[in-house]
Amino acid sequence: MSTLADSLFGVIENRISPIAARLSSQRHVVAIKDGFIASMPFLIVGSFMLLFSHPPFSQDSQWGFAQWWLGMVKQYNDQLMMPYNMTMGIMAVFITGAIAYNLAQSYKLNGLMAALLSLMTFLVVAAPEKDGALSVASLGGEGIFSAILISLYCTEVMHWLVKYNIGFKLPEQVPPKIRQSFDLLIPIMVIFLTLYPLNLFMESHFGLLIPQAIMSVFAPIISAADSLPAVLIAVLLCHLLWFAGIHGAAIVGGILQAFWLSNLGLNQEALNAGQDIPKIFIEPFWQFFITVGGSGATMGLVILYLRSRSAHLRAIGRLGFVPGMFNINEPIIFGSPVVMNPLLFIPFITTPLINAVIAWTATRTNLINHVISLAPWTTPGPIGAAWSTGWDWRAVVLVAFLICLSTLIYYPFFKLYERQLLAQEEEMAQEQLAEEMK
Amino acid sequence: MVKILLCCSAGMSTSMVVQRMQKAATQLGLEAKIDAVGMEEFNEKIAEYDCCLLGPQIKYKLADFERQAQEYHKPVTVINTMDYGMLNGEKILKSALALIDANKGA
């Protein structure tokens, strides 16, 4: 058993971790992730407004409060939906600018200029003007993958031109601000010369905009990423990394974010159109069901620690309980420690996998609502689950059930570990006693 | 006045460590500015501080961050796993002070 465990830990430490570390330090991956992070506040507020515009009551509810809310939403629908339309509805616009900014910063280029260049390019390919209006159809979830590709392309063009010193050379006496704006002339021209013909070609031959074409290329991957096996693989990878002491959620989540946001966009469109909600795997689903209390679904473990007979575990329980309610569990992971601890390996990996299967099945069979909104990841589990499913009380019940279940799964392993620690604590106490007796 | 920067994935769990370190600094009668940031902010912040401590969960960033911090001659290290888990502000603060001293000597 121990040699098997050792070789397994060896593989995680020596093979998986370095790859993950390299991947998550890779310039473009970092820029994409930071771009998503920067866009998040807009998306959270926007999706909150969507929820507000879709009260969780049936149309013929007799309750006064519900009737008032429903009536108000009906009357002021356009006004209430405006914050949603200008954030979630055009999220690819924010993402394009934010990714380009971050990538440019990492190349020590002018971030603002890169962001503006990418924004222009994105609008050219995703929302060409027609009859005095820009169409927003491709600026939401459908535009995410285009946003990523376009912002990377534009910034790389800038970088390439700077590297080979191609551009207008204005004399030194010209103020820097003015020189900056001239710096962009060539990149803009290059972008128009390369992308715009492609755009026109796509439109005249296939009747498609570039974002729609990109989406149809990505469609099989997107739908595969929303399957239970994909969820389980992602959860497993994340927790193997955490077990090696690496922030698995930041790495796996960073890569999944594009899929999560595109799924969220599809769900919200369906909600708005009054259709069945199609997608399951979105960040809150991961955050509030699979890893309630933080990676490893450690809420159950903290509860066990609180009443442990081991002084060390009790101390960790006290330190970790409140942060754990907000899904922060570094004290548990590093203090227990869970990291590289063979006794806690099995429950740390299996609990989130079991949670994933249960929550997935519950969503699929409509026992709980699908995720249709974003809540900040630090929202306490039950509240976050209710919030992101459109105030579904059944989601709260499910989270409570999953916490109890995780307590049960952790219990036998916790007991083993506790016994080991108690023996150590006992030994130390006796040594101390012997010291004093001398 | 010492200025210490802590950095982790989102700056959340390190901010709990900051509170403990701040408390330890007050007890030692030490004037200290200690802040926590998410890793995307490291680059723009490091110049303002004397050193940077990373949460152990992002130790894979060490080589990358060390390279960036070298420009400003600032030392970067990873916090001891157990001290981090136990939120041992005093020990972490002392190790940071030792790190700054060692850097000055160099």
Beta-carbon separation of B81 and A337 below 8 A: yes
Beta-carbon separation of B61 and A25 below 8 A: yes
Nearest-Cα residue of chain B relative to residue A313: B86
> Who among B55, B60, B87 is closest to A25 (CB)?
B60
Q: Which residues of A touch B57 (CB under 8 A)?
A: 242, 245-247, 250, 330, 333-334
Residue B106, pLDDT > 70, answer no
Nearest-Cα residue of chain B relative to residue A26: B64
Q: Which residues of B touch A108 (CB under 8 A)?
A: none
Q: Could you give the ipTM of this predicted complex?
A: 0.82
- Please tell me the predicted confidence (pLDDT) of residue A260: 93
Beta-carbon separation of B12 and A21 below 8 A: no
Q: Would you give per-residue pLDDT tens digits along chain A (438 residues)?
A: 567 777 877 887 788 778 887 887 788 988 998 899 899 999 999 888 888 888 877 777 788 888 888 888 888 888 888 999 999 999 999 999 999 999 999 898 999 999 999 999 999 999 888 888 888 888 988 899 999 999 999 999 999 998 888 877 777 777 877 777 777 888 889 988 988 888 888 888 888 888 888 988 888 988 888 999 999 999 999 999 888 888 888 888 888 999 999 999 999 989 888 899 999 999 999 999 999 999 999 999 999 999 999 999 999 999 999 999 999 998 899 888 998 888 999 999 999 999 999 999 999 999 999 999 999 888 998 999 999 998 999 999 999 999 999 999 999 999 999 999 999 888 888 888 888 877
The better pLDDT of the pair B67, A438 is held by B67
| Model pTM above 0.80 | yes
- Please tell me the predicted confidence (pLDDT) of residue A14: 81
Spatial distance between the Cα atoms of A205 and B83, rounded to a whole number of angstroms: 63
Kindly state whether A61 is in contact with chain B, defined as any CB-CB distance less than 8 angstroms: no
Kindly state whether A98 is in contact with chain B, defined as any CB-CB distance less than 8 angstroms: no
- Which residues make Cβ contacts (< 8 Å) with residue A325, sequence separation at least 6? A293, A299, A380, A381
Percent above pLDDT 90 for chain B: 37
- Please tell me the predicted confidence (pLDDT) of residue A326: 93
Closest to A262 (Cα-Cα) out of A234, A249, A281, A289: A281
> Who among A30, A245, A316 is closest to B57 (CB)?
A245
